[in-house]
C-alpha cells in the first residue's frame, strides 16, 4: 500500500478492504444480520491566502461501520481502527446496542443480496491518484502568479477515496473515486472589486488553475467601484455556482418521503400527503441522479450497499419520487429502498433552446447578473433562503452588462425562481463537485436590501 515514505494518496484496494470486511464479519454474532462498511480516504489540501500558500495538509482517514439487526433492532458501531481490537469493538458496540432494550420488530432493514454494480466511467483517475505534493504546489503557484496585482485566497483540494460494503448475505461491493476542486477569490488592491471562480475535477489533468485565476481576476477587475441599484424584484441571470448550494440543501434535507408525509418538507402537500405527481418546477426542468452520469459520476451504492439506480426525482417539472427506507420498499413490494445519493443533475428538457450566459445577457432587457450568493435557511420547512450576492454582481441593460453594482441581500428560493424561468443553459459541474447545474435566467428574484460591502 505504501509506495514510499512520505507518499500521499494511499487507499484500500478491493482485496485489502474485503479482507478487513471479512474479518469484521467473522467477529459478528452468527445469528445477526450484519453489514460492514470499510473506507479509507486520502484528503489533500493546499490553502492559499494573501497570495501565498499558507498550509499544506494530507490526511488518511479510515473507518469501519458495522450495522447489526438482531431481534428486529438495528444498531450501529463505528471505529477508525483497522486492527482486530478496533473491529471487534465496532461489532460489539452494534450488537450490544441491538441485542436487548426497547424497540424491535418495527425496524426494517433487509440485507441487500449479492449483486453486481456498474463501474461509473470517469469516477477514478490514475492521474489524480498519482499526484504528489510538488504537483499540487505547482498548480497553486500558477494560480497565485496569475492573480498578481490582486489579493488572492483560495484552496486546492483533492480526495482519493475507497469504500467497500459487505454483508452477512454475501454481498461485496467496492468503489473508488478521485475528486478535486480549486477555488480562488481575488480582490482589487483598492478593495472595491472582488471576484471568485471555482472548478471541480475528477482527473487532475483537467485542473486548470490558471483559468480559474483568470476568471476570478477578470470578475474582480470588472466589479471595481460598484454603484447601488434600488433593491426590488429583478430578472436575474444566475451562474450555476450561485444557486448550487440551494440544490444541495434541498437534496440533503427535503427528498425524504416520510418527512413529506408528516408535513416537514417542502414537498408536503398543504392538503395532506405529498406533492408527488404535482408540478413543482418549470416543465422544462428535470432532476435526475445517475451514478453513470458521464459528467458527474458517483459511487453506485450507499453505505449499506443499496444500489443507486438512475432516478428521476423531478421529470418535466413534476415531482416523481421521494426517497424511502426498507419499510416502504417492503410495503410496495420492492427489492430494496429508494436511496438518495444527494448528487443530482438538473437537466433541461430535450428540445429546449439552451442559451449560454452570454446569450442570456444579450437577450435580457434589464436584469442582474449574479456570480455567487451566500446561502442560509430563512425558513427551513418552506425551503426559503436568505443571503447576499458576492464576488461579482452586475446590472444588465438592453443586452449588455452596463455596470458593477453593490451587493444586495435576497430572500428567495429555487422553489420560486426555477418556476419563473426565462432561459436555461447547458448544465455544468458545480465547483463543489457532485451537481450538474445549468445557468438560468429567471424573473422576479427578490432582492430586499443593499448590503454595501465587498
Structure letter (DSSP) for residue 112: P
Q: Is the CB of 112 or the CB of 361 nearer to other proteins?
A: 112
Choose the binding region for other proteins from 202-210, 243-251, 256-264, 342-350 (rule: CB under 8 A): 256-264
According to the binding rule CB under 8 A, does residue 211 interact with other proteins?
Answer: no
Q: Is 181 helix (H, G, I), strand (E, B) or coil?
A: strand
Length of the chain: 454
Is residue 224 within 8 Å of 403, Cβ to Cβ?
A: no
x/- binding map, residues 71-90, to other proteins, per CB under 8 A?
--xxxxxxxxxxxxxx-xxx
According to the binding rule CB under 8 A, does residue 19 interact with other proteins?
Answer: yes
Q: Which of 11, 91, 200, 344 binds other proteins (CB under 8 A)?
A: 91
State the chain's maximal CA–CA distance in angstroms.
Answer: 72
Choose the binding region for other proteins from 53-61, 241-249, 283-291, 340-348 (rule: CB under 8 A): 53-61
Q: Is the CB of 19 or the CB of 292 nearer to other proteins?
A: 19
Report the site for other proteins in 354-383 (rule: CB under 8 A). 374, 376-379, 381-382
Number of H helices, E strands in the chain: 10, 20
Q: Is the CB of 17 or the CB of 306 nearer to other proteins?
A: 17
Q: Rounded to whole angstroms, how far apart are CA atoms 68 and 27?
A: 12
According to the binding rule CB under 8 A, does residue 246 interact with other proteins?
Answer: no
According to the binding rule CB under 8 A, does residue 8 interact with other proteins?
Answer: yes
Q: Which of 131, 251, 257, 268 binds other proteins (CB under 8 A)?
A: 268
Backbone angles phi, psi at 265, to 5 degrees: -120, 165
What is the CA angle 194-197-201, rounded to 5? 165
Report the site for other proteins in 432-451 (rule: CB under 8 A). 446, 448-451
The C-alpha cell of 306 is what? 443499496
| Residue 439 Cβ vs other proteins, minimum distance, rounded to whole Å | 21
Pick the closest to residue 178 from 163, 158, 198 (CA basis). Answer: 158
- Going by C-beta distance under 8 Å and a sequence separation of 6 or more, which residues neighbour residue 260? 254, 267, 268, 269, 274, 275, 276, 322
β-bridge pairing 33-49 and 52-70: antiparallel
Q: Which of 37, 161, 162, 168 binds other proteins (CB under 8 A)?
A: 168
Q: Rounded to whole angstroms, how far apart are CA atoms 83 and 66?
A: 14
According to the binding rule CB under 8 A, does residue 328 interact with other proteins?
Answer: no
Report the site for other proteins in 294-313 (rule: CB under 8 A). none
Report the site for other proteins in 117-136 (rule: CB under 8 A). 133-134
Choose the binding region for other proteins from 331-339, 362-370, 387-395, 397-405 (rule: CB under 8 A): 387-395
Amino acid at each position: 500500500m505504501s509506495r514510499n515514505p512520505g507518499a500521499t494518496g494511499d487507499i484500500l484496494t478491493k482485496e485489502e478492504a474485503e479482507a478487513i470486511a471479512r474479518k469484521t464479519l467473522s467477529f459478528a454474532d452468527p445469528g445477526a444480520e450484519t453489514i460492514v462498511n470499510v473506507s479509507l480516504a486520502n484528503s489533500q489540501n493546499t490553502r492559499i491566502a494573501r497570495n501565498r500558500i499558507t498550509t499544506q495538509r494530507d490526511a488518511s482517514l479510515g473507518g469501519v461501520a458495522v450495522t447489526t439487526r438482531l431481534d428486529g433492532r438495528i444498531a450501529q458501531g463505528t471505529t477508525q481502527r483497522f486492527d482486530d481490537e478496533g473491529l471487534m469493538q465496532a461489532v460489539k458496540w452494534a450488537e450490544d446496542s441491538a441485542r436487548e432494550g426497547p424497540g424491535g420488530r418495527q425496524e426494517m432493514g433487509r440485507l441487500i443480496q449479492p449483486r453486481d454494480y456498474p463501474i461509473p466511467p470517469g469516477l477514478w483517475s490514475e492521474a489524480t491518484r498519482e499526484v504528489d505534493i510538488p504537483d499540487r504546489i505547482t498548480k497553486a503557484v500558477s494560480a497565485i502568479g496569475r492573480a498578481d496585482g490582486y489579493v488572492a485566497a483560495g484552496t486546492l483540494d483533492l480526495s482519493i477515496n475507497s469504500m467497500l460494503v459487505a454483508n452477512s448475505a454475501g454481498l461485496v461491493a467496492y468503489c473508488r473515486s478521485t475528486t478535486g476542486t480549486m477555488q480562488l477569490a481575488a480582490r482589487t488592491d483598492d478593495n472595491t472589486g472582488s471576484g471568485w471562480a471555482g472548478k471541480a475535477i475528477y482527473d487532475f489533468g483537467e485542473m486548470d488553475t490558471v483559468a480559474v485565476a483568470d476568471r476570478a481576476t477578470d470578475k474582480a477587475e470588472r466589479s471595481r467601484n460598484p454603484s447601488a441599484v434600488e433593491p426590488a424584484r429583478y430578472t436575474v441571470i444566475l451562474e450555476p455556482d450561485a444557486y448550487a448550494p440551494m440544490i444541495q440543501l434541498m437534496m440533503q434535507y427535503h427528498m425524504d418521503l416520510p418527512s413529506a408525509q408528516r408535513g416537514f418538507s417542502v414537498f408536503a402537500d398543504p392538503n395532506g400527503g405529498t406533492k408527488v405527481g404535482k408540478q413543482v418546477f418549470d416543465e422544462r426542468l428535470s432532476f435526475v441522479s445517475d451514478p453513470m452520469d458521464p459528467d458527474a459520476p458517483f459511487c453506485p451504492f450507499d453505505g449499506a450497499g443499496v444500489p443507486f439506480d438512475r432516478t428521476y426525482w423531478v421529470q418535466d417539472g413534476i415531482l416523481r419520487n421521494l426517497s424511502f427506507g426498507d419499510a416502504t420498499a417492503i410495503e410496495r413490494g420492492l427489492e430494496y429502498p429508494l436511496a438518495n445519493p444527494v448528487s443530482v443533475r438538473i437537466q433541461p428538457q430535450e428540445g429546449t433552446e439552451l442559451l449560454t450566459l452570454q446569450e442570456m445577457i444579450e437577450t435580457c432587457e434589464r436584469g442582474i447578473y449574479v456570480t455567487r450568493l451566500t446561502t442560509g435557511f430563512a425558513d427551513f420547512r418552506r425551503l426559503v433562503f436568505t443571503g447576499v450576492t458576492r464576488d461579482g454582481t452586475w446590472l444588465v441593460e438592453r443586452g449588455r452588462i452596463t455596470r458593477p453594482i453593490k451587493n444586495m441581500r435576497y430572500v428567495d428560493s429555487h422553489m420560486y425562481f426555477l418556476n419563473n424561468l426565462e432561459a436555461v443553459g447547458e448544465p455544468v459541474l458545480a465547483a463543489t463537485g457532485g451537481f450538474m447545474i445549468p445557468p438560468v435566467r429567471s424573473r422576479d428574484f427578490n432582492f430586499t436590501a443593499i448590503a454595501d460591502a465587498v
